[in-house]
């Protein structure tokens, strides 16, 4: 037997999974007694597993990715047509879908100008980090190499991205990390009591001032960039408080620090109304990285987008033959990515999904807030658009997180009801207590109500 079997032979597929697949981010011990879950099919908001069970997917493919929903024939056709014409050529040359998508993308991002194609969110962030380092050497005599990142933010799984990782549980045992990444405090209003000296009023400005304090401590001439999520995702679904972003922009301008916004989760409509999270806050980033929603998971594509000003620093220079970005990403040259991304953008525009995201996000928020009356365990509801979190606490005054097992039990109960929700996962030790909701941007009112009804039932059963 060479091990081949038919794609319909699901029991052997499960067996092969158990024998050979190393799943991401989970423990494998339970598979010794339980079957691993295999998702077989998807359509719209729903997926089916190997047992034929239907699930409403309230997390867009588990990690906020499938923004336009499953089974989009027009994206599949665009990818097929492009692959038949040209599947790949290294990005040192251009491609037709690459140019078309870049033009469309830049038209949604005033002030930005250049798109660097790559494979994953981690890699897109690494590109920006490398550019910051190269700029430091080229322009600042090797100073300004430091990159600031924030507690609770996540920027990826590769070692430099983890060096900018504010989620200790993910980083544990993977060090040592790259030098010159420096942490700044988070800006989470709900947990401001955990930050020394946090005021009752104007917390947003105060939280941004803490970044300035780190810059002054490190020396402004050593700090090249500040990397932030516009709304922190896995670290707890955290929107920065009023006044924060304006101060962040002022600080970056004052100390000549490049602002890198990681839109890997928020990008391409997830927060509603605007294409990108940062566009809600009137800031002017120097780098914007994106991945998950760019092609809604129909093809692997990520982008590092920057300004013409940054690009100009890397142009060939007769006096310096090394002054170009000496970097490549093999699969940045796959044409399936931009072909899928063009059609993904078209769907979002044609179906008015930015507006739907805002409307359905408001419904999700209102439903979750209504549950707070009944379930005292919900300490806080927060988020933007179809990107919401509900933090579970033992007591609303002390805000002590519920044990993680209980938060996971809520997820498992929803799963049993046929609704897939998420919980902050392997991020802040002991603090993975925020339920996460990120349904596709096509969600209907009934879908939203089904999600929150499932949560209502699950909270009742888990917490009584
Ligand atoms: N940045 C953020 C905010 C993320 O949430 C993630 C992944 O979850 C990444 C970067 C890394 O993206 P990838 O897994 O595509 O490398």
* Confidence (pLDDT) at 426: 75
The confidence band for 321, taking pLDDT boundaries of 50, 70 and 90, is: confident
* Domain co-membership, 198 together with 314: yes
Q: Are 96 and 242 in a shared domain?
A: yes
Examine the domain organization and report whether 123 and 257 are in the same domain. Answer: yes
In a domain, 8, yes or no: no
Report how far ligand 1's centroid is from the alpha carbon of 182 (Å): 19
Instruction: Determine which residue's CA is closest to atom 1 belonging to ligand 1.
Output: 155
| Average pLDDT of span 231-254 | 97
Same domain, 332 and 430: no
Looking from the CA of residue 266, the nearest atom of ligand 1 is: 3
In the listed set 323, 350, 377, which residue is the last one of a domain according to the structure? Answer: 350
228 & 260 share domain: yes
Q: Are residues 102 and 231 in the same domain?
A: yes
Residues 53 and 154 in one domain: no
pLDDT of residue 1: 54
Can you give the pTM of this predicted structure?
0.97
pLDDT value of position 36:
93
* Ligand 1 contact, 230 CB (< 6 A): no
Q: Rounded to an integer, what distance in angstroms lies between the CA atom of residue 423 and that of residue 409?
A: 10
Same domain, 246 and 385: no
State the distance from the centre of ligand 1 to the C-alpha of 114, rounded, in angstroms: 21
Q: What is the pLDDT of residues 160-171, one digit of tens each?
A: 999 999 999 999
Q: Are residues 358 and 396 part of one domain?
A: yes
Last residue of a domain, one of 292, 317, 350: 350
CA of 151 to the centre of ligand 1 (A): 15
Q: Distance between CA atoms of 46 and 60, rounded to whole angstroms? A: 9
CA dihedral sign, ordered 201, 202, 204, 208: negative
Residue 220: how many other CB atoms lie within 10 Å: 16
In-domain check, residue 1: no
Dig out the tokens for 29 from the structure: 């011990």
Is residue 91 in some structural domain? Answer: yes
Output the domain CATH number for residue 235.
3.40.640.10
- Residue 29 in any domain: the answer is no
427, 389: one domain: yes
Q: How many CB atoms lie within 10 A of CB 106?
A: 15
Q: Is there a single domain that holds both residue 55 and residue 191?
A: no
How large is the average pLDDT for residues 372-383? 98
Model confidence pLDDT, tens digit, residues 22-66:
999 999 999 989 999 999 999 999 999 999 999 999 999 999 999
In a domain, 269, yes or no: yes
Q: How far apart are CA 435 and CA 402, in angstroms?
A: 11
Domain membership flag for residue 168: yes
Residues 280 and 271 sit within 8 Å (Cβ to Cβ): yes
* 218 shares its domain with 298: yes
- The dihedrals phi and psi of 288, each to the nearest 5 degrees, come to -130, 125
What is the whole-number distance in angstroms between the Cα of residue 59 and the centre of ligand 1? 15
Nearest atom within ligand 1 for CA of residue 292: 15
Residue 12 lies in a domain: no
User: How far does the centroid of ligand 1 lie from the alpha carbon of residue 154, in Å?
Assistant: 7
Distances (CA, A) of 209 to 141, 154, 187, 198, 247: 28, 21, 10, 11, 7
Percentage with pLDDT > 90 across the chain: 93
Q: Domain boundary at 319, 350, 381, which?
A: 350
Angle at 23 between CA 52 and CA 430, to 5 degrees: 105
2 falls within a domain:
no
| Tens-place pLDDT, residues 110-130 | 999 999 999 999 999 999 999
**Ligand 1 centroid from CA 199, angstroms:** 32
Q: What is the pLDDT of residue 178?
A: 97
Assess whether pLDDT exceeds 90 at residue 2. no
> pLDDT digits over 189-208, tens only?
999 999 999 999 999 999 99
CB of 263 closer than 6 angstroms to any ligand 1 atom:
no
Query: 122 CA to middle of ligand 1, Å?
Result: 6
Atom nearest to 156 CA in ligand 1 = 11
Q: Does ipTM surpass 0.95 in this model?
A: yes
Q: Atom 7 in ligand 1: which residue has the minimum CA distance?
A: 156
CATH code (residue 445): 3.90.1150.10
Instruction: State the total domains in the chain.
Output: 2
**135-156 mean pLDDT:** 96
Q: Which domain holds residue 279?
A: 73-350
Residue from 61, 64, 156, 287 whose mutation best tests the ligand 1 pocket (most atoms within 8 A of CB)? 156
């Amino acid at each position: 037997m060479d091990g081949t079997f038919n794609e319909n032979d699901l029991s052997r597929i499960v067996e092969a999974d158990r024998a050979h697949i190393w799943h991401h981010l989970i423990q494998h011990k339970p598979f010794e007694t339980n079957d691993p879950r295999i998702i077989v099919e998807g359509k719209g908001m729903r997926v089916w597993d190997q047992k034929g069970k239907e699930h409403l997917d309230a997390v867009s493919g588990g990690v906020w990715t499938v923004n336009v929903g499953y089974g989009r024939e027009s994206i599949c056709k665009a990818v097929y047509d492009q692959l038949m014409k040209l599947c790949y050529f290294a990005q040192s040359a251009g491609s037709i879908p690459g140019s078309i998508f870049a033009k469309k993308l830049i038209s949604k991002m005033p002030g930005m100008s250049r798109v660097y194609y790559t494979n994953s969110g981690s890699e897109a962030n690494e590109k920006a980090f490398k550019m910051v380092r190269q700029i430091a050497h080229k322009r600042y005599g090797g100073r300004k190499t430091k990159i600031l990142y924030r507690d609770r933010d996540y920027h990826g799984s590769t070692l430099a991205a983890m060096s900018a990782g504010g989620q200790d549980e993910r980083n544990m045992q993977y060090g040592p990390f790259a030098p010159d990444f420096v942490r700044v405090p988070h800006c989470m209003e709900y947990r401001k009591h955990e930050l020394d000296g946090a005021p009752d009023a104007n917390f947003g400005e105060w939280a941004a001032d803490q970044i300035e304090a780190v810059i002054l401590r490190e020396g402004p001439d050593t700090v090249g960039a500040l990397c932030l999520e516009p709304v922190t995702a896995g670290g707890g679904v955290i929107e920065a408080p009023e006044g924060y972003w304006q101060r962040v922009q002022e600080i970056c301008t004052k100390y000549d620090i490049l602002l890198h916004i990681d839109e890997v989760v928020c990008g391409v409509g997830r927060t509603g109304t605007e294409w990108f999270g940062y566009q809600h806050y009137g800031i002017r980033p120097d780098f914007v990285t994106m991945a998950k929603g760019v092609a809604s998971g129909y093809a692997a594509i990520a982008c590092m987008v920057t300004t013409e000003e940054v690009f100009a620093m890397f142009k060939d220079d007769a006096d310096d033959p090394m002054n170009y970005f000496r970097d490549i990403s093999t699969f940045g040259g796959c044409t399936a990515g931009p072909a899928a991304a063009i059609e993904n953008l078209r769907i979002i525009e044609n179906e008015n999904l930015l507006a739907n995201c805002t409307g359905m996000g408001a419904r999700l928020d209102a439903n979750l807030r209504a549950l707070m009356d009944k379930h005292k365990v919900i300490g806080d509801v927060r988020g933007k658009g179809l990107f919401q979190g509900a933090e579970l606490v033992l007591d609303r005054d002390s805000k002590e997180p519920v044990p993680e097992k209980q938060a996971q039990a809520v997820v498992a109960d929803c799963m049993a009801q046929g609704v897939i929700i998420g919980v902050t996962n392997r991020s802040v030790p002991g603090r993975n207590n925020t339920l996460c909701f990120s349904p596709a941007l096509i969600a209907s009112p009934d879908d939203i109500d089904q999600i929150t009804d499932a949560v209502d039932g699950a909270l009742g059963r888990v917490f009584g």
